């Protein structure tokens, strides 16, 4: 008798969550847009149940806002919100890097080297989506190497607010190259177990990203203002 394998609902829900998260981070669902459960269910070929669960999880992460009488909205931060969030992330990543340099194992270092190699390959192909996912895995692995669960949880929660902006800001060629160089510096500092250097690199890395994002948002705001003036 042939056994028909039943769909694994847990895997389906997780896959739906990851797909919807990617759509938000990569800007395919624009900030401020309403998340229509029916349309999303149709486009992802799932029922509305995993869509609802994914939206709840994304709201907990800070990527979605649940607004009374409006439903789920892709989060849209003001420039001040963005700058304040980056300032917090800079200190969190600096502390994380410092602890990681003191606590990281040889096995984790080897894993980071492998991820760095993959990320460089994605950079060479200018595959932004793959690059960003690997980049995020590197940052999370460094954070885990700090061996401080409270710090890890706080980092994940705060970073979720600005993930979409971190993704979009890598599209400038010169600034993207600079970010890649900084990642190599991180790896070198970790190998040397130099906690002071690692802390400084991480803080500067985030501050550089903050400045790029601020420039991007200001440019977009100016562009929108110009359009409004030319199309009354």
Would you write out the chain's pLDDT as a tens digit for each of its 232 residues? 333 333 567 788 899 998 998 888 877 888 889 999 999 999 999 999 999 999 999 998 888 989 888 889 998 888 898 899 999 999 999 999 999 999 999 999 999 999 999 999 999 998 988 988 899 899 999 999 999 999 998 988 888 888 877 777 666 677 788 888 999 999 999 999 999 999 999 999 999 989 888 888 887 776 665 665 566 5
Strands 71-74 and 64-67: antiparallel
Q: Is 119 exposed, middle or buried (0-12, 13-18, 19+ CB in 10 A)?
A: buried
What's the longest Cα–Cα distance across the chain? 71
* Cβ atoms of residues 127 and 165 within 8 Å: no
The size of the chain, in residues, is: 232
Bridge partner list, 34 = 73
* Confidence (pTM): 0.76
**Share in percent of the chain as helix, strand, coil (round to 5):** 75, 5, 20
């Amino acid at each position: 008798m042939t056994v028909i394998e039943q769909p694994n609902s847990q895997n389906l829900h997780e896959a739906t969550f990851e797909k919807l998260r990617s759509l938000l981070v990569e800007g395919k669902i624009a900030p401020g847009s309403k998340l229509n459960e029916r349309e999303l269910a149709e486009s992802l070929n799932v029922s509305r149940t995993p869509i609802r669960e994914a939206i709840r999880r994304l709201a907990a992460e800070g990527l979605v806002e649940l607004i009374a009488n409006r439903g789920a909205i892709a989060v849209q931060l003001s420039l001040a919100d963005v700058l304040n969030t980056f300032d917090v992330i800079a200190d969190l990543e600096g502390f994380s890097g410092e602890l990681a340099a003191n606590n990281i194992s040889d096995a984790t270092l080897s894993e980071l080297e492998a991820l760095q190699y993959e990320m460089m390959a994605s950079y060479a192909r200018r595959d932004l989506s793959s690059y960003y996912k690997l980049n995020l895995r590197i940052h999370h692995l460094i954070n885990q190497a700090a061996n401080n669960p409270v710090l890890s949880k706080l980092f994940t929660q705060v970073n979720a607010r600005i993930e979409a902006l971190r993704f979009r800001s890598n599209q400038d060629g010169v600034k993207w190259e600079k970010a890649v160089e900084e990642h190599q510096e991180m790896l070198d500092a970790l190998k040397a177990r130099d906690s002071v250097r690692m802390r400084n690199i991480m803080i500067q890395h985030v501050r550089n990203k903050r400045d790029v994002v601020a420039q991007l948002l200001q440019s977009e705001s100016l562009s929108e203002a110009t359009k409004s003036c030319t199309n009354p």
